[in-house]
């Protein structure tokens, strides 16, 4: 650690330089991995038929983009968002219910713990039978994976609300409902968004798992199909695409959080 | 008739592990406009007593009568202030001050004007659009007091209201609070572990015993009602009252 005394402009310039260094190394790492991969494939060090290569993936992408890639992406994104919204909404209402009734919270707490540790993918066959073999099963899977975590995190957050703030509104005669929307809810916006950031990823996991089991379209379907006919380029390309989609959806939630926090601070 | 009378309050906590007798039997009455300090060894149940008077805790026995009416549950005539300012960080100062009015469904032009008047009178109007994080600890506690006063309670209960502040701020805030409460003609009951604070602000200081609490003694602090709680600390009688309270507490 350098112990240099900076002037304001030097300090800011140093921060800018540090950011540029970080971004550069990040970019170089990606380029290095891709170049190494491509080179190893072309030199025959690794079998490009099995592990694919960046150039082959790009070619596949271009070829698929001309055909029906957009449809698959739309299916996967649509199912993920639907599952995510349903999971967050249901989780929020259940958690709110458990906050309103400490009795119910004590009744259901052990069940939540058990359900949380249960691998929800094991429910796949049951979900298909119950929800029907199609999009509804896939969305149900996404909800099943994200719901319990949401309920647990939000319930915990609601109960951990600053007791001083609650006593203050109570001393003014607030009902439990008023305590909830005036104090508990605004206090838990960070918790809500933290759980949403985790959930958008979990929901995608649920959708892909669902598409593996039952689907006619979507990136999960594409991966399973391509794996079966041994088109590893298509498998790898779809996986990379999933990475981009996950990142984009996470960023969207982050942006929403900033907007909501700004809004809350101005009501 | 006294404004507030506390009659034979008893309180025991029940837990699975056993029963804790917090308050044995406490009775006293407060006249309109009086400032009462309550001190006692830590854990003696003084905050619990205040919580009973505020209607937030149900006593095991006895009753609290305010203006001839039993207090059961929270009363609009009683304002309650805690150790920390408990301002909502996502609301501006002005909107924080309106919180109590909102909850009591008394938000109208008249009450808003009163809240604004309080803010102006006590030098916080310029900060009405600021957020609590931008204010110093002392200012925040003053906002908290104005929020409590905005709903026009007749009796104010202060539970260690200054103990989260640093020494200098605490002296200034206690002077501000004293001045504000006197000029708004309020009646006050404050719980504190700080004997000089109790003596400097109260007309009477009640000393509670160890748990289960009873009133061990009452010390009159005769400095009049136009005192300055900081200046009064140099009054020769201050030491006298302090010694009396201290002796009772360490018995």
Quote the number of domains for chain B.
2
Q: Which residues of chain B have a CB within 8 Å of the CB of A182? A: 88, 99, 102-103
The B residues from 87 to 116 touching A (CB cutoff 8 Å) are 88, 90, 99-100, 102-104
Q: What is the mean pLDDT of residues A222-232?
A: 90
Task: Report percent pLDDT > 90 for chain A.
Answer: 66
* Over residues A29-47, mean pLDDT: 92
Q: Domain check: are B41 and B19 in the same one?
A: yes
Q: Does A156 touch chain B (CB under 8 A)?
A: no
For residue A2, pLDDT over 80 is answered with: no
Distances (CA, A) of A215 to A73, A119, A208, B187: 13, 21, 10, 72
Cα distances from B3 to residues A38, A217, A266, B48, B141, in angstroms, run 87, 76, 41, 21, 26
Residue B155: φ, ψ to 5°:
-115, 130
Partner-chain contact B76 A170, CB within 8 Å: no
| Beta pairing, strands B155-159 & B187-191 | parallel
pTM of the model: 0.85
Domain boundary among B127, B152, B177: B152
Averages of pLDDT over each 10 residues, chain B, 251 residues: 89 86 91 93 86 90 90 89 90 94 93 93 91 91 91 92 85 88 91 92 92 89 89 91 90 75
Contact between chains at B88 and A174 (C-beta distance less than 8 A)? no
Same domain, B48 and B169: yes
Task: Report CB contact under 8 Å: A173, B83.
Answer: no
Q: Which of residues 178-207 of B touch A (CB under 8 A)?
A: none
**Across the interface, do A169 and B103 touch by the CB < 8 Å criterion?**
yes
Look at residue A4 in the predicted model and tell me its pLDDT.
67
- A44 at interface of B, judged by CB pairs closer than 8 A: no
Contact B56 A186 (CB under 8 A): no
**Contacting residues of A for B140, CB less than 8 Å apart:** none
**Do B50 and B99 belong to one domain?**
no
- Is position B40 within any domain? yes
| pLDDT surpasses 80 at A6 | no
User: Is A173 within 8 Å of chain B by CB?
Assistant: yes
> Quick check: A182 contacting B, CB < 8 Å?
yes
* pLDDT the model gives residue B249: 84
Q: Which residue has the tokens 């402009």?
A: A9
In chain B, which residue's Cα lies nearest the Cα of A184?
Answer: B88
Asked if A186 reaches chain B (Cβ–Cβ under 8 Å), the answer is yes
Q: What mean pLDDT do residues A88-110 have? A: 95
DSSP chain A: ---PPPPHHHHHHHHHHHHHHHHHHHHHHHHHHHHHHHHHHHTTSS-HHHH--HHHHHHHHHHHHHTTHHHHHHHHHHHHHHHHHHHHHHHHHHHHHHHH-HHHHHHHHHHHHHHHHS-GGGGHHHHHHHH-TTHHHHHHHHHHHHHHHHHHHHHHHHHTS-HHHHHHHHHTT--HHHHIIIIIHHHTHHHHHHHHHHHHHHHHHHHHHHHHHS-SSSHHHHHHHHHHTT-HHHHHHHHHHHHHHHHHHHHHHHHHHHHHHHHHTT-
> B51, B54, B103: best mutation site toward chain A, by most A Cβ within 10 Å?
B103
- Preceding amide of B212 cis, omega within 30: yes
Interface test with B, best of A161, A162, A165, A172 (most B CBs within 10 A): A172
Residue B71 lies in a domain: yes
Specify if B83 maps to a domain: no
CA angle in degrees (0–180, nearest 5) for B234-B238-B242: 135
Cβ–Cβ below 8 Å for B56 and A170: yes
* B210 falls within a domain: yes
Write down which residue in B135, B152, B169 finishes a domain.
B152
**Site from A162, A167, A171, A263 to mutate, B interface, most B CB atoms within 10 angstroms:** A171
The span from the CA of A175 to the CA of A264, in Å, is: 22
Cβ distance B80 to A167 less than 8 Å, yes or no, reads yes
Claim to verify: residue B180 and residue B57 sit in the same structural domain: yes
Section A98-107 average pLDDT: 96
**What's B8's domain CATH number?**
3.40.50.300
Same domain, B158 and B173: yes
Give yes or no for a contact between B143 and B89, defined as CB atoms under 8 angstroms apart: no
B13 and B115 housed in the same domain: no
Taking residues A173-201, report their average pLDDT: 93
Neighboring chain A residues of B56 at a CB cutoff of 8 Å: 167, 170-171
Same domain for B100 and B146, yes or no, is yes
Task: Please indicate whether, in this complex, the C-beta atoms of A172 and B56 are within 8 angstroms of each other.
Answer: no
Give the pLDDT band (50/70/90) at residue A10: confident
A10-19, A43-52, B110-119: segment of lowest average pLDDT = A43-52
Interchain contact, B56 vs A178, CB within 8 Å:
no
Q: Which of B129, B152, B175 is the last residue of a domain?
A: B152
**Residue B82 falls inside a structural domain:** no
Which residues of chain B make contact with A161, given a CB cutoff of 8 A? none
CATH class (in words) of the domain with range A61-264: mainly alpha
* Mutation site, B90, B105, B134, interface A, largest A CB count within 10 A: B90
CA of A67 vs chain B CAs: smallest distance (Å)? 50
Domain of residue B115: give its range. 88-152
Tell whether B134 lies on the interface with A, counting CB pairs under 8 A: no
The reply to whether B66 and B186 lie within a common domain is yes
**Is A177 in the B-facing interface, judged by CB distances under 8 Å?**
no
Domain identity same for B143 and B166:
no
Residues of A in contact with B76 (CB under 8 A): 173
Distance from CA of A163 to the nearest CA of B (A): 9
Same domain, B173 and B118: no
Residues B187, B154 contacting (CB under 8 angstroms): yes
B197 and B109 housed in the same domain: no
Query: Do residue B176 and residue B55 come from a single domain?
Result: yes
* Alpha carbon distances (Å) from A90 to A94, A146, B174, B217: 6, 10, 48, 58
């Amino acid at each position: 650690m350098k112990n240099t005394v900076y002037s304001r402009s030097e300090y800011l310039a140093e921060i800018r330089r540090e950011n540029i260094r970080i971004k550069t190394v990040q970019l170089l790492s990606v380029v290095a991995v891709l170049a190494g991969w491509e080179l190893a494939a072309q030199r025959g060090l690794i079998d490009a038929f099995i592990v694919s290569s960046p150039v082959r993936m790009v070619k596949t992408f271009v070829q698929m983009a001309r055909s029906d890639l957009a449809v698959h992406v739309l299916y996967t994104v649509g199912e993920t968002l639907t599952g995510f919204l349903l999971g967050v909404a249901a989780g929020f209402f259940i958690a709110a219910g458990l906050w309103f009734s400490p009795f119910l919270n004590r009744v259901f707490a052990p069940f939540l713990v058990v359900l949380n540790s249960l691998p929800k993918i094991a429910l796949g066959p049951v979900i298909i039978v119950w929800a029907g073999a199609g999009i509804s099963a896939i969305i149900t899977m996404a909800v099943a994976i994200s719901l319990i975590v949401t309920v647990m995190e939000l319930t915990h957050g609601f109960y951990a609300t600053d007791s001083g703030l609650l006593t203050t509104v109570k001393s003014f005669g607030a009902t439990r409902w008023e305590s909830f929307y005036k104090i508990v809810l605004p206090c838990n916006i960070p918790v809500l968004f933290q759980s949403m950031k985790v959930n958008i990823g979990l929901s995608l996991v649920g959708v892909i798992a669902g598409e593996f089991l039952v689907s006619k379209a979507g990136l999960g379907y594409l991966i399973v199909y391509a794996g079966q006919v041994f088109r590893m380029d298509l498998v790898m390309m779809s996986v990379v695409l999933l990475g981009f989609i996950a990142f984009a959806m996470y960023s969207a939630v982050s942006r929403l959080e900033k907007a909501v926090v700004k809004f809350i601070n101005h009501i | 008739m006294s404004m507030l009378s506390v009659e034979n309050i008893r309180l025991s906590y029940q837990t699975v592990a056993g029963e804790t007798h917090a308050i044995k039997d406490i009775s006293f009455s407060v006249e309109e406009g009086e400032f009462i300090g309550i001190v006692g060894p830590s854990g003696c149940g003084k905050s619990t007593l205040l919580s009973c008077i505020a209607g937030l805790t149900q006593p095991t026995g006895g009753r609290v009568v305010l203006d001839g009416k039993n207090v059961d549950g929270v009363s609009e005539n009683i304002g309650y202030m805690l150790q920390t300012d408990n301002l909502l960080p996502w609301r501006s100062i002005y909107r924080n001050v309106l919180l109590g009015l909102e909850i009591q469904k008394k938000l109208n032009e008249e009450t808003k004007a009163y809240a604004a008047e309080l803010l102006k009178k006590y030098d916080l109007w310029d900060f009405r659009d600021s957020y609590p994080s931008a204010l110093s600890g002392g200012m925040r506690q003053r906002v908290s007091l104005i929020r409590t006063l905005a709903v026009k309670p007749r009796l104010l209960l202060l539970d260690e209201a200054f103990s989260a502040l640093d020494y200098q701020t605490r002296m200034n805030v206690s002077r501000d609070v004293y001045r504000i409460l006197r000029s708004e003609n309020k009646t006050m009951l404050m719980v504190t572990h700080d004997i000089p604070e109790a003596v400097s602000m109260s007309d009477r200081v009640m000393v509670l015993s160890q748990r289960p609490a009873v009133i061990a003694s009452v010390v009159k602090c005769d400095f009049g009602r136009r005192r300055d709680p900081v200046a009064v600390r140099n009054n020769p009688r201050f030491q006298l009252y302090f010694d009396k309270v201290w002796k009772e507490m360490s018995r």
